[in-house]
């Protein structure tokens, strides 16, 4: 087996403009045939009057949805034959999700019901990615510098050194879409997701198109990661450790967690890197982020570690260094997420 990433373009779903992708990144397994497979799914839902939480309405966008440790058996020009061993990244959002405080906002659609609680009023759902209200304006895919057609109907698979996936979308204010409009545009979101044998990097930027968007405290996520806890009783993650930007340890958690709820938090606003591993499964990983151009301030970062099935989540929430929770029109936010999941089985 060639020790290189593999790009697989799958057949398009009927009625969809773009094809789904699978990207296989090699691991350290001595067998040489174990890869981490990232699923990049094109999601489309043109419903514009569903404002419920997690409705995934009003969306046209690619997103990373789950990753599996797989054993690759064969690679042809048309497809990859593989066997899934473990799910290592749980379904969820790992790029962007932003919620708005709605104090003073009156331009909501008749069916949009915000949450009113303890004197606060805020959007019933986030915008971005899994949550919807994000529409694709451009997308390009290259493998070793060669452009590939995501609208083609013929599937393909190939080994390559580097894969670049570029996305540009518009984010729309929750509760403002209707049959005639995608809603009020609030930000331009760009992603450059680069895959190589070293892992993935996602350079994200958010350029604010308005100066009246009140980001909700601790609910403006540009950094998320949904690490799978266990599968069929086998732990995928057993030990977690957080680090600051200089590599100093900020705390460590090892399962089983000695609490009645079976949950612990690695909670420190200086966290920039999380490493995790499991001696039982042989899986390890690290995920982190860099703030670029000093364009952001970190409000809060926390890793939610739980002993139950599902995922351990890392969240980092941001705000404007100049204007706090109300970024000015034209303000640019930039971060780079980097991640690597490995296996030594």
Mean pLDDT within 117-133: 93
Omega cis (within 30) before 176: no
The DSSP element (H or E) to which 223 belongs, if any, is strand 214-228
Question: What's the confidence (pLDDT) of residue 172?
Answer: 98
Question: What's the confidence (pLDDT) of residue 286?
Answer: 96
Distance CA 120, CA 63 (A): 31
- pLDDT tens track for 297-319: 898 898 888 766 677 889 999 99
Q: Are strands 21-26 and 6-9 parallel, antiparallel or unpaired?
A: antiparallel
Distance CA 275, CA 243 (A): 8
Please check the confidence at residue 276 and state whether its pLDDT lies above 70.
Answer: yes
Q: What is the overall mean pLDDT for the chain?
A: 92
Structure tokens at 131: 């949550």
Contact 95, 224 (CB under 8 A): yes
% pLDDT > 70, the chain: 96
Residues 6 or more apart whose CB falls under 8 angstroms from that of 42 comprise: 13, 16, 17, 18, 19, 20, 61, 62, 150
Task: Using DSSP, state whether 131 is helix, strand or coil.
Answer: helix
Distance CA 120, CA 122 (A): 7
Distance CA 94, CA 285 (A): 15
- pLDDT tens track for 183-226: 999 999 999 999 999 999 999 999 999 999 999 988 999 989 99
Task: Using DSSP, state whether 247 is helix, strand or coil.
Answer: coil
Question: What's the confidence (pLDDT) of residue 148?
Answer: 96
Greater confidence (13 vs 187) lies with 187
Please check the confidence at residue 259 and state whether its pLDDT lies above 70.
Answer: no
Please check the confidence at residue 260 and state whether its pLDDT lies above 50.
Answer: no
Domains of the chain: 6-343 (2.70.98)
């Amino acid at each position: 087996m060639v020790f290189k990433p593999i790009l697989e373009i799958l057949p398009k779903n009927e009625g969809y403009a773009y094809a789904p992708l699978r990207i296989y990144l090699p691991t350290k397994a001595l067998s040489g045939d174990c890869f981490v497979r990232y699923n990049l799914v094109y999601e489309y839902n043109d419903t514009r009057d569903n404002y419920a939480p997690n409705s995934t309405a009003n969306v046209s966008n690619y997103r990373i949805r789950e990753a599996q440790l797989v054993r690759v058996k064969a690679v042809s020009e048309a497809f990859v034959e593989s066997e899934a061993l473990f799910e290592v990244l749980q379904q969820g959002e790992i790029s962007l999700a932003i919620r708005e405080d709605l104090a003073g906002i009156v331009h909501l659609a008749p069916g949009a019901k915000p949450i009113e609680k303890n004197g606060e009023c805020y959007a019933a759902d986030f915008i971005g990615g899994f949550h919807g209200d994000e529409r694709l304006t451009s997308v390009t895919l290259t493998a070793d510098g060669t452009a590939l057609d995501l609208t083609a109907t013929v599937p393909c698979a190939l080994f390559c050194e580097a894969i670049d996936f570029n996305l540009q979308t518009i984010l729309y204010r929750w509760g403002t879409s209707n049959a005639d409009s995608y809603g009020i545009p609030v930000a331009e979101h760009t992603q450059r997701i680069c895959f190589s044998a070293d892992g993935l990097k996602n350079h994200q930027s958010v350029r604010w198109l308005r100066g009246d968007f009140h980001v909700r405290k601790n609910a403006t996520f540009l950094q998320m990661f949904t690490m799978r806890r266990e599968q069929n009783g086998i732990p995928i993650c057993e030990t977690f450790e957080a680090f600051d930007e200089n590599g100093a340890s900020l705390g460590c958690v090892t399962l089983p967690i000695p609490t009645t709820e079976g949950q612990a938090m690695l909670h420190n606003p200086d966290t920039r890197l999380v490493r995790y591993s499991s001696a039982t499964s042989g899986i390890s990983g690290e995920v982190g982020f860099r703030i670029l151009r000093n364009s952001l301030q970190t409000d809060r970062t926390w890793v939610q570690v739980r002993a139950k099935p599902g995922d351990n989540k890392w969240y980092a929430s941001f705000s404007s260094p100049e204007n706090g929770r109300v970024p000015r029109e034209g303000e640019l936010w930039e971060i780079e997420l980097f991640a690597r999941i490995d296996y030594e089985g």
